Each structure stands twice: as C-alpha cells, then as structure tokens.
Structure 1
C-alpha cells in the first residue's frame, strides 16, 4: 500500500508533516479515524490506509525504521531477489524459465535520466532511489520507476514457473508507427498458451468498463494499447497470441483474477501480482494450450524476430 513510488506516504495519509512530533501524530491519527470510519460515512479503503499508516509510524521504533526506508530498488534486475534492493543472490538451484531481455530496463534508464534532469546538472545525485527524493519527484518521473518495479516483480514470478516457460522482456513493438515508447513488457510462452503481459502500477484501485481498465491513475487505454502492440509482434514473427494479461499490485484490485472475456477478439484477464503464477499455469478461459512441436516452433519464431526496447 505504501511501497509504491506513486502511493502517498504514511504521513500524507495521516495529514501531517514528516517532522510532526509524537503528540501531533497521535491527534492526527484519531482525527483521520473519525473522518474515514465507514460507520460515519467514510471510505472503508481509506480507513484501512489510515490504520496501516499508524502501524508504520505510530510507535517510535517503527517510525524510525520507516523514516530510514530501504530505497525504491536495486539498479538492475535480479531474478532471485525477494526485495527491491537485495543484499546478495540466493543459492536457488531450481530450473528457471528461459528469460531474454531486461525487465524494467527501458523505464529505469528513462527514470534515471529524468531524475538527474529534475535534480539539476550541478547537483549530486547520491541515491536516486532514496524514498524521500522519489516521493518529491514529479508524478511522471515516479510513474516510470513504479512501472519498472512492476515489471521486475512480474519477471521474478515468471522466472519461478520453471523451465517449461520462456519469457521475453521489454520487447520492441513500434511497427510502422516508429514510436520508441511502444513495447510489450513481457511475452510469456508456456504450456497454457502464448501471452502478452502488461505490468502496471497506477498508484491506486482500478475498475473495469467495456473491456478496459479505468481509474484515477489510469493512462489512456492500457488494454487496447497492449493488444495493438501484440498485433505488431504477431505479424512480424508469424505467431498468434492466445491471450493478454494485465498484472497489478494486490491492493489495487478487488478480485485476484478478473477475466474480461474477449476484447477485440483476444481473451483478456486482469490479475493481482500474487495470482499471476496461478493464471499462467492454469491458463485464461478461451486461450488454447501450446505444446510439443508447436511450442518449439513459436519459441523459435519469436527468438528470431524479437527486438528489445
């Protein structure tokens, strides 16, 4: 809830400055509880946020740990990292999915470039992932980091599915448009089918209307954009995608798995991050399984065609 570059800090949820003393913080917490309690007409989701904020900063030890923070990510993707800034690689020897490309790489590079420009050429940027610095950056800069982190989280999940899966990250999909920003976050090939996958963090809850994701932080039409980019890659490689999956943070969806049916002829599912492995193993309704020689042929065609953003 508070671990996204787009989310409000615990202090912002409580309506106080980060420098507020303990008594001010306590009064603010009690006031926000009264304002947001569902029994008095408040928003249940915000009420839960207020309680979670108090858990993070209400006690001195917890507040000190929260204020120290842990950064918003390591400078590069590590498939074995359980958190954003791993101390060391794990000794996991299980067979992993075949992985190609750098998940989140394009957006991390863009984030660092814009962050340096925002801080100023003459300034020293000691830690571009410092929580206080990230939260003070412009929204479009924070969004780049949020999306990069989302892509890296998906990559770790897919990597754990095992050697029966192949994934391509940050796949260029500009086609004739020449748009340098046009890419597919992940293409996943496994026994349950061939999927185009979009990893997103809109910074808040989403809803669905007419086969599309909507919400306060949603840009344009994410599903329509994903399907358009999938068509570009499908034509170039001579393959056919079975379905599309949009992966969102657990807190931003009411249900872990929402199947939207066919959108422009393609089955689409919106899933929480924790449900992604289940969906990729089980499959999406209406998506044809891929196996044997066909799987080998699809993988070869993509491997020969895919270019990375």
Structure 2
C-alpha cells in the first residue's frame, strides 16, 4: 500500500469506517491478519498492506496524525499537504549536467484536477487548499486518479533528469490518439543513445499484472494501457516521421511484481512494464532486443521531434 491519493486508506484496508472505535479497529486488524496471512493461504501483498495500515492508525497518536493529513513519522498536522504541487524549480543537489527537458511534467493532470475539484465541491463553495489530505481522500476516484498521475509524472521527470546531457526529454506531448476519456497526451518522450522511448507514467492505486502483452488487474476498471500507449506512440511517429524503439509503462514500485517486464512488441517497439525506481537503469542500459540510436541518426531524430512536438 503505497502513499498515493488513489490508494486504499488504512480504514478501507482494515474494512472499517473512519469513525470506528479502538476496540472495533483492533478486532478488524486481527481478523484481517488471519484472513490474509500467507501461512493460511492469504495474499502476501494484502497481508503486508494490513500491517502498514495498522502502523498508520493502530495507535491514538498515529491515527490522529493520519486523520489530520500526515503521519506520525512525518509530524503531520493541520494544513499538511502530502500532495501539494512541487516548486517550479526544485533545488539542485549537485552540479552535474541534467538531461535536456521540454514541457511541463504533470501540468495537464494537475490543472484538470484543480478544475474538476472545484466543480465537484460546487458553485460558490470556497476551497482553501485543494491538496488538503482529508479533502483529497473524500473526492471521487476519477479526481484522485488525476492527482495520482500528476505525482507519478513528476516523479518520472525527476528520474529522467538524472540521465545526463546525452538524453533529451519532452513532457506532456499533445496527441489526438488517446482513447475515449483518456488524456489527449503522451506523458514523456525520451531520446538517448539507448533508443527512442514513449513513456506513460501511471498510478492506479494497486497492483497490476500482465497477460498476453496487456496489463490486467482489479484496479484497471477495463483500461488497456498498453494499447493506449501504442496508439499515442503511433500518432507521434507519424507526425514526426520517427520510429520508437521502446514503449514503457512506469508504475510505483509496489504496483508491479517484477521489473522490467518485457511484454512483447508493438510495431517494432519493445513494450515493457517498469517500476519507478528502475527507470533510470532501464534508460541507461536499454531494453533487450530494442534498437539503439547513435551518431547522425540521433541528431536527425531529435531535429524531427523538435519540429513536430507540441504540448498540451
């Protein structure tokens, strides 16, 4: 259970309401331990989630901190903003050159979140802090999903920046190839010596698995992420006259059981599911079977993308 706007709350994991008393909470915890323990045939992932949930709300002090919007370890209190927008220019930790970057990662998702949050709250209702933890947790899943994706896109952008000057990255690239209800964009395009990658950053608030080259899982609600990514990449390929060598779906570390997991090929590009922390290594090493780009070709692909890319 990772800390995300769309993750199940500790109360939901334990199967109780947010107003449950201490005795009810303790009984629920013990019941869920029995039901999920691997030794009795339970799911190890659910068993771990139950333990994490208890750490967050199992004591009066931890529960009070969580209910205020923080955690006991982080010293959360009134006004805590675990999902607030990052500073426009995060402070640099070293002087090494970063990857060249264009666009605003997470910008479209955050903007949509803010607009729809105000619509959901209602006309004339004043929202002091749209990132207040209690407000976010009470919002509909679609709203929380937008914020979760914005955070995921921002995390990916930070990882990609660490690749160095040999890589070029475009964020929030406009495309008309999105499916019904999907964002009209490709989250990231990455060009470097190991290839040209179309990258989508996703957070569904739970574990996803793979089957026959596509992602599956209860949290997906019928979505087909690999197909959607392929369609977006195809639209960019046509507009810029370039050929992607890799298509990556990046998810939080505990949302994937293995990483990188190669899913197959789509129009010649190797598709893979990648955990967030493994992304820089995948970019530097490349994907098995994916073509590399170098020399004059690298310069030509960058020039074509610079001329064709537009942003949402």
TM-score, L = length of structure 2: 0.89
| 2:282 corresponds to | 279
Number of aligned positions between the proteins: 301
Asked if 1:30 is matched to 2:44, the reply is no
Query: Equivalents in 2 of 1:72, 1:59: separation in Å?
Result: 21
- Partner of 2:219, secondary structure, is coil
Which is further off, 47-56 or 285-294? 285-294
Tell me the C-alpha RMSD between the 2 structures. Answer: 2.2
Relative distance call for 1:177 and 1:32 in structure 2 (3 A) is: closer
**Offset of 1:90 from its aligned partner?**
4.4
SS at match of 1:185: strand
User: Residue 253 in 1 paired to residue 263 in 2?
Assistant: no
Question: Which deviates the most, 65-74 or 106-115?
Answer: 65-74
1:217 partner SS = helix
- 2:119 aligns with one of 117, 120, 123: 117
Output the CA distance in 1 between the equivalents of 2:50 and 2:181. Answer: 41
Corresponding residue for 1:5? Answer: 5
Alignment correspondent of 1:14: 14
**Contact kept in structure 2, 1:2 and 1:10, CA below 8 Å:** no
**2:49 matched to which residue of 1?**
49
The Cα shift of 1:179 comes to: 9.1
Question: Could you list the runs of 5+ residues in structure 2 that have no partner in the other structure?
Answer: 71-79
Q: Which residue of 2 aligns with 1:105?
A: 107
Task: List runs of 5+ in structure 1 lacking aligned partners.
Answer: 81-88
Question: Does residue 71 in structure 1 map to residue 81 in structure 2?
Answer: yes
Asked if 1 retains the 8 angstrom alpha-carbon contact of 2:245 and 2:268, the reply is: no
Q: Distance in 1 between matches of 2:294 and 2:66?
A: 48
Q: Is the 8 A contact 1:76 1:105 kept in 2?
A: no
> Which is worse superposed, 98-107 or 25-34?
25-34
Distance 1:176 1:264 in 2: 17
Shift of 1:76: 4.8
1:128-277 to structure 2, matched below 5 A, reads 128-174=130-176, 181-218=183-220, 219-277=222-280
Change (3 A) 1:248 1:78: farther
Report what 1:297 is aligned to. 300
Q: Distance in 1 between matches of 2:23 and 2:141?
A: 31
